[in-house]
Amino acid sequence: MGFDFRLPKITGHTDREQLVQIKSYLYQMVEQLNFAMNNFDTITTSAVERYVSKNSLLRENENVTVDAPATFNAIKSLIIKSADIVEAYYEEINKQLVGEYVAISDFGIFKESTESNISANSTSITENYTNIQELIDVMNNDIDSIETTLIDVNAYIRTGLLYTNDDGIPVYGLEIGQLNTVDEEEVFNKYARFTSDRLSFYDQNGTEVAYISDYKLYITHVEIKGTAIFGAFEINTTKGFRLKYVGRG
């Protein structure tokens, strides 16, 4: 429910007529303010209940038995969407470090350029690394000159807030990724993520290919080059394939 307060229209020709109009305007404003203040709690509660009910948080017989995280997220969303005042304050630190190494001989030139960019704020610290290696004007007895060979490595380490889960709860942890290119051709692109309850590995498409969580290892493909124990049995692949009973420890 909204309330529209407008300036009074003073159309009276005499002082008395103008005073009567101002008095009438003030009475109307007081009535609206009293109504708004007396019904503020009811209006707010009704809006929250409608929002909660819309998200299937009210149960039978009008008894409210709601899930705490879902209720929290519903009311949080309502507050943010209807907020008249929003205050936000962030501090951020940025630092860049560069390095260069050059070796020159009769066989050619080797150059390595390194750079790190570190940014930090109240939620995370991100470190970006670049390592570029070049072979320039390589000479030998068989080939007069070899074109520049370029290796470009880009890596990052991020700690702190990684994402927000489906319940709206922030998840903190560590993420490490690396992209390698040789002569502008991608040869490696993967990353890993470690949180308090999960260690995950991702391929170049962002697909989770393996993870460890809740005392279990989940993996797309398994290659055993030695031995593996499954309960009371041992699999040995050092000389072909052998299944052996080893008993329970």
Q: In this structure, is residue 1 part of a structural domain?
A: no
5 has pLDDT over 80: no
31-35, 203-207, 217-221, 237-241 — most confident range: 203-207
**What's the mean pLDDT in 87-94?**
84
Give CA–CA dist 209/220, Å, rounded. Answer: 6
Give percent of the chain above pLDDT 70.
74
144, 164: one domain: yes
The domain tally of the chain equals: 3
Most confident region among 81-90, 107-116, 137-146, 223-232 by mean pLDDT: 107-116
- Same domain as 144, residue 115: yes
Higher pLDDT, 60 or 179: 179
Q: Within this chain, do residues 208 and 228 fall inside the same structural domain, yes or no?
A: no
Q: pTM here?
A: 0.64
Is the same domain home to 40 and 103? no
Query: 78 and 51 in contact (C-beta within 8 Å)?
Result: yes
- Do the domain assignments include residue 36? yes
Tens digits of residue pLDDT in 118-175: 999 999 999 999 999 998 877 654 554 455 678 999 999 999 999 999 888 999 999 9
Residue 76 lies in a domain: yes
Residue 146 vs residues 134, 143, 179, 196: alpha-carbon distances, Å: 12, 7, 25, 49
Q: For the ranges 16-20, 39-43, 57-61, 115-119, which has the lowest average pLDDT?
A: 57-61
Per the rule left: phi > 0, alpha: psi between -120 and 50, beta: everything else, 167 is alpha
Same domain? For 31 and 102 the reply is no
State phi, psi for 15 to the nearest 5 degrees: -60, -40
Same domain, 170 and 107: yes
Q: Is residue 233 part of a domain?
A: yes
Structural domain that includes position 230: 221-249
Is 2 part of a structural domain of the chain? no
Contact 162, 195 (CB under 8 A): yes
The answer, yes or no, to whether residue 210 has pLDDT greater than 90, is yes
Q: Is there a domain that residue 147 lies in?
A: yes
d(CA 194, CA 48): 37
Q: Which amino acid is at 205?
A: N
Q: Give residue 238's pLDDT.
A: 84
Determine the Cα–Cα distance for residues 172 and 193; give it in Å rounded to an integer: 10
